[in-house]
Amino acid sequence: MDARITKQRLGNLISYDWLKMLVTIVVFVLVLVLLFTMTATRPKNTQEYSIYAYTDLTATSSFTNLGDTLEERDALSYDILAINSESFAGNNYASATYSARRAAGQGTVMFITDNPVYETDDNGDYVLDEDGNRVLASNSELYNFAMGMAYSADTRSSPAVYDTQYYMQLCEEYLVQFFGDDWADSDALDGTTTPEQSFSRRNDGDKRYKTEEQRAQGIADERERLLKLRGDYLAVSAAFEDGTFSHTVYEGTRSDGNGGTETYSSALGINVGGLNGLKNLLYYTDSEGARTTENVNLSILYNNYLDGSDLCFETVSFLRYLLDTYKE
């Protein structure tokens, strides 16, 4: 048997060993990736925050990168683990894509315009009815999207959005649980529910909080979340008072359940067009071709899994971010 070590045999041996080493390394890396994937904390649907821009708006690069910006600035709470933004303008499949997102329960808020179109005569003047009101030619995108489907205390249909006035009311009631009836004047957490209780009911079993030290940090973060929400709510409420924000309210009629009809009102969105810098995030063009955000609204999409959830009111913090970033 020829067992001599030749240059050729030595080269074959080394190349074969390198191949085995390379395969071993690849397998090891794949195992690590699989291990981290299986053990990593995956966001629940309540821990995802998705911001949409409807087909009637043009989004800027700032909107495209909005999720990263919100994370960098800690604009939302520690328990929001995924933030993303998506525009549905500019392609033929936008409406289908949006419908698919909502069918899957995705989406938290959506920017949309409130620009009804009124009839004009040959001179370009508005046509008026016998009461002197402008004659409507077509409803706004906001109206078509949400009218009759706003979630409130007396909702009678499948909701698509929150009635924004009702949403703010719910948030105030939530704050009372933790800060008491004097929540607006005192930041003492002396309500009927403690941060420890809200943390436990939401995060017991969470992989991030296995040790006592991690749990203690989680409870501390929960206290900060509540204090931040209180501060954000007060700032947003002040923006409503000074007219920077306003609720877009429409009246409609519906069956009263007794064979007759009744009039009702719904706040379909929050007009954020008073933010002078908002066009740096998104915009539409007016009749003269100028970029504007005058009638841009933020609709709060209704997701039933957020009912009673502590993270239902992250949109208040998002509104605070918009206020601080784009008011001037």
Two structure tokens written together for 248: 């877009």
For 93-113, the pLDDT digits (tens) are: 777 888 899 888 899 999 999
Residues 51 and 17 in one domain: no
CA–CA distance, 49 with 68 (Å, rounded to integer): 12
pLDDT category at 38 given cuts 50, 70, 90 is very low
pLDDT at 23 over 80: no
Residues 31 and 163 in one domain: no
Residues 32 and 143 in one domain: no
Q: Is residue 196 part of a domain?
A: yes
CA–CA distance, 49 with 106 (Å, rounded to integer): 9
Class of residue 134 by CB neighbours under 10 A (exposed 0-12, middle 13-18, buried 19+):
middle
Which residues contact residue 309 at a Cβ distance below 8 angstroms, ignoring those fewer than 6 apart? 46, 202
Domain assignment of residue 16, given as a range: 7-40
For 276-324, the pLDDT digits (tens) are: 999 999 999 988 889 999 999 999 999 988 888 999 999 999 999 999 9
Residues 218 and 161 in one domain: yes
pLDDT at 61 over 60: yes
The whole-number average pLDDT for the span 167-177 is 97
Residues 23 and 67 in one domain: no
Residues 292 and 259 in one domain: yes
Name the DSSP letter for residue 211: S
pTM: 0.85
Q: Is residue 283 part of a domain?
A: yes
Pair 118, 136: CB distance under 8 Å: yes
Q: Report CA Rg, the chain.
A: 27
Q: Is residue 97 part of a domain?
A: yes
